Amino acid sequence: MMALEFLRRGKIVRMESFAPDTMLLDYLRLTEKSRGTKEGCNEGDCGACTVVLGEVQNGAMNYQAVNACILLLGQIHGKEIITVEDLAEGEKLHPVQQAMVDLHASQCGFCTPGFVMSLFALGHGKKSVTRADVTTAIAGNLCRCTGYKPIIDAGVKACQNLRDRFAGDAEQSIALLNGISSETMLVGDEQNFFVAPSSAESLAERAAQHPQARVVSGATDVGLWITKQFKAQKQIIFTGRARGFAEIAWHEAALHIGAGATYTAAQDGLTKLAPDIGAVMHRLGCVQVRNSGTIGGNIANGSPIGDMPPMLIALGSILVLRNGETERKMPLESFFIDYGKQDRKSGELVWRIEVPLLKQNQVFKAYKITKRFDQDISAVLGAFLFTMDKDRIADVRIAYGGMAATPKRATKTETILRGKTLQEAMSITLNDYAPIADMRASAEYRREIAAALLKKAVMELQGAQNTRVLA
């Protein structure tokens, strides 16, 4: 089909042309002139632009909060877009809005629409919410005035058994959304296009045909190239509509995660595989970012400070790439060649990641060190997979983020640790990295902290209690 279609305020909006790198926030504020949604930072770090996307899942509406500032307009194809202006019914405020008023949860009010939308999505996603659910839901929303307490209280109050008109309207929304074709959507011409292939196979085909085009999944990174670096993106292949590209499947010895799976989608499975992955993912970005960003994207962009690669490397994950119809497999660490350089051929896609399941005698530990716990990029991320033979380390895989130009294994230390008892391991020093200093940490602190994390992991294996500030 040759048009972008989405549901807006009860009607299908159809657009037969738009600049491929139009951001959703600009569409809302500049084209639609809906100005309730605010721009705070234009990089997905403050949440003032939070809107909710509705989508049909298993026959019901599912609502997710996203940052409109770094979401491409084309990404909302086939979805409903809900903004802060849509919640009240005439003079009657939505329960989330009313609780915010009653509990004095707005001061300057500029961040408020974003909080309202994050809480709206939370209320629709969960029947009964705890304080922790609320702080998780709003971890990506910054407020500089209130100190958050009244917002948290409003969230806890309003999101219990939330009832609003959206439940009543769901049937109609589902019908309208189901009316949007699931075929490949293509808007534009040879030079400028936004294409959303309908299946993984057609996605691979398109990527091979247009190796120069930008493949975009969540746009949580590419979005900033557009808003901050003015790198025009004229040809975009969007993975988000490709059936089969985001599948998560348990196999006998591994969890297979399709590259297009969002963090949100993959979080449950990975947490089950090893709780420490879940604990790190809980602090990776925020709900809005995890709803958009993908596991494959975090690998494909090759960042030295992505949180998933070191953990997946330590676990011994296998990366599957695909070029047209040809698949290629490699250990994940081999993919990262150097800063900004990955082993990905022209037209090739990051396709799937296969994460081995832990064996009985294996323990996985991961630690993320940041200035702020939530939504902060790691200064250092340490990930450790120990294979134990009673008190002895039979084997170990260690990978760090933030310590080198790529996510990197500590192979020297691994060799030294193999065969050592835990007691002996306590005195092993980490000597694999020469980290750099930047705004997140000095080189010295990075070195020390990396060593401290290894020490902490060993202490925890020895049964030490009270080892983490975030219990």
Partner 1 sequence: MKPLAHVGKALAHDSAALHVSGAAVYIDDIAEIEGTLHVAPGFAKEGAKGKILSINLAAAQAAEGVVAVLTAQDIPGKNDCSPVAGDDPIFANGKIEFHGQVIFAVVAKTRDAARRAARLAVIEIEKQKPDVTVADALASNGDLLPPYAFTSKGVVAALKNSTHRHAGQLKIGGQEQFYLEGQVAYAIPQEKGGMFVHSSTQHPTEIQHCVAAMLGIDDAQVICQCRRMGGAFGGKESQAAQWAAIAALAAHITGHPVKCRLDRDDDMMLTGKRHDFEATYEVGLDKSLRIAAVDVLLAARCGYSADLSAAICDRTMFHADNAYFYPQYKIATRRLKTNTISNTAFRGFGGPQGMVFAEAMMESIAIQHGCDALELRKKNLYTKQRNTTPYGQKIDEHLVGKIMATLEKTSSYQKRRKDNAKFNAKSSILKKGLALTPVKFGISFTNTMMNQAGALVHVYGDGSVHLNHGGTEMGQGLYQKVAQVVAEVFGIGVDKITITATRTDKVPNTSPTAASSGSDLNGMAARNAAMAIKARMAEVAGRQHGVHPSKVTFWDGQVSAKTKSSSFAALATACKGARVSLSATGYYSTPAIHWDRATGRGHPFFYFAYGASCSEVLVDTLTGEMKVSRVDILHDVGHSLNPAIDIGQIEGGFVQGMGWVTTEELVFDAEGRLRTHAPSTYKIPCASDVPEDFRVALYESKGNKADTIYRSKAVGEPPLMLPISVWCAVMNAIASLKPGTVPKLDAPATPEAIMRAVKSLGVK
Q: Considering only residues 360-419, where is the footprint of partner 1 by CB under 8 A?
A: 367, 369-377, 379
Which of 93, 318, 357, 461 contacts partner 1 by CB under 8 A? 93
Which residues inside 155-194 make contact with partner 1, applying CB under 8 A? none
Q: Which is nearer to partner 1, 31 or 57 (CB)?
A: 31
Q: By three-state DSSP, how is residue 123 classified?
A: helix
Which of 53, 87, 187, 381 contacts partner 1 by CB under 8 A? 87
Which residues inside 121-160 make contact with partner 1, applying CB under 8 A? 131, 134-136, 138-152
Is 438 a binding residue for partner 1 by CB under 8 A? The answer is: yes
Q: State the minimum distance, in angstroms, from the CB of residue 236 to partner 1.
A: 18
Q: Which is nearer to partner 1, 171 or 438 (CB)?
A: 438
Q: State the minimum distance, in angstroms, from the CB of residue 152 to partner 1.
A: 6
Of 36, 75, 31, which is closest to residue 55 (Cα–Cα)? 75
Of 297, 385, 387, 308, which is closest to residue 344 (Cα–Cα)? 297
Q: State the minimum distance, in angstroms, from the CB of residue 250 to partner 1.
A: 31
Q: State the minimum distance, in angstroms, from the CB of residue 402 to partner 1.
A: 13
Is 35 a binding residue for partner 1 by CB under 8 A? The answer is: yes
What angle do helix axes 275-282 and 263-273 make, rounded to 10 degrees? 150
Cβ(313)–Cβ(399) below 8 Å: yes
Q: Which is nearer to partner 1, 62 or 107 (CB)?
A: 107
Q: Which DSSP letter does residue 219 get?
A: -
Give the number of other CB atoms < 10 A from CB of residue 381. 28
d(CA 83, CA 9) in angstroms, rounded, equals: 9
Is 441 a binding residue for partner 1 by CB under 8 A? The answer is: yes
Q: State the minimum distance, in angstroms, from the CB of residue 41 to partner 1.
A: 4
User: What backbone torsions phi and psi does residue 137 show, to the nearest 5 degrees?
Assistant: -60, -30
User: What backbone torsions phi and psi does residue 115 show, to the nearest 5 degrees?
Assistant: -65, -45
User: What backbone torsions phi and psi does residue 218 show, to the nearest 5 degrees?
Assistant: -95, -20
| CA count, 13 A, side-chain hemisphere, 128 | 0
Q: Which is nearer to partner 1, 156 or 349 (CB)?
A: 156
In the block, tokens 């200035």 appear at: 371
Q: State the minimum distance, in angstroms, from the CB of residue 282 to partner 1.
A: 10
Q: State the minimum distance, in angstroms, from the CB of residue 115 to partner 1.
A: 9
Q: Which DSSP letter does residue 220 get?
A: T
Q: How far is CA 240 from the centre of its chain?
A: 13
Q: State the minimum distance, in angstroms, from the CB of residue 304 to partner 1.
A: 15
Binding mask 287-306 for partner 1 (x = CB under 8 A): --------------------
According to DSSP, the residues that pair with 386 across neighbouring strands are 363, 396
Binding segment toward partner 1, per CB under 8 A, in 99-107, 253-261, 269-277, 357-365: 99-107
User: What backbone torsions phi and psi does residue 399 show, to the nearest 5 degrees?
Assistant: -140, 145
Which of 61, 111, 313, 350 contacts partner 1 by CB under 8 A? 111
Q: Which is nearer to partner 1, 43 or 201 (CB)?
A: 43
Cβ neighbors of 357 (< 8 A, separation 6 or more) are: 253, 254, 255, 273
Q: Which is nearer to partner 1, 282 or 344 (CB)?
A: 282
Q: Determine the size of the site formed for partner 1 (CB under 8 A).
A: 88
Token reading at 21: 């790198």
Binding mask 39-78 for partner 1 (x = CB under 8 A): xxxxx-xx-x------------------------------
Q: State the minimum distance, in angstroms, from the CB of residue 248 to partner 1.
A: 27
Q: Which is nearer to partner 1, 113 or 197 (CB)?
A: 113
Q: By three-state DSSP, how is residue 368 classified?
A: strand
Judge residue 420's burial from the number of C-beta atoms within 10 Å of its C-beta, 0-12 exposed, 13-18 middle, 19 or more buried.
middle
d(CA 371, CA 378) in angstroms, rounded, equals: 8
Is 469 a binding residue for partner 1 by CB under 8 A? The answer is: yes
According to DSSP, the residues that pair with 194 across neighbouring strands are 187, 236
Helix (H) or strand (E) holding 136: helix 131-137
Q: Which DSSP letter does residue 461 get?
A: H
Which of 66, 100, 284, 313 contacts partner 1 by CB under 8 A? 100
Q: State the minimum distance, in angstroms, from the CB of residue 200 to partner 1.
A: 32
Q: State the minimum distance, in angstroms, from the CB of residue 46 to partner 1.
A: 5
Q: By three-state DSSP, how is residue 204 classified?
A: helix
Which residues inside 12-31 make contact with partner 1, applying CB under 8 A? 26
Is 196 a binding residue for partner 1 by CB under 8 A? The answer is: no
Q: Which is nearer to partner 1, 92 or 412 (CB)?
A: 92
Q: State the minimum distance, in angstroms, from the CB of residue 171 to partner 1.
A: 25
Token reading at 282: 């809980």
Which residues inside 219-258 make contact with partner 1, applying CB under 8 A? 228, 230
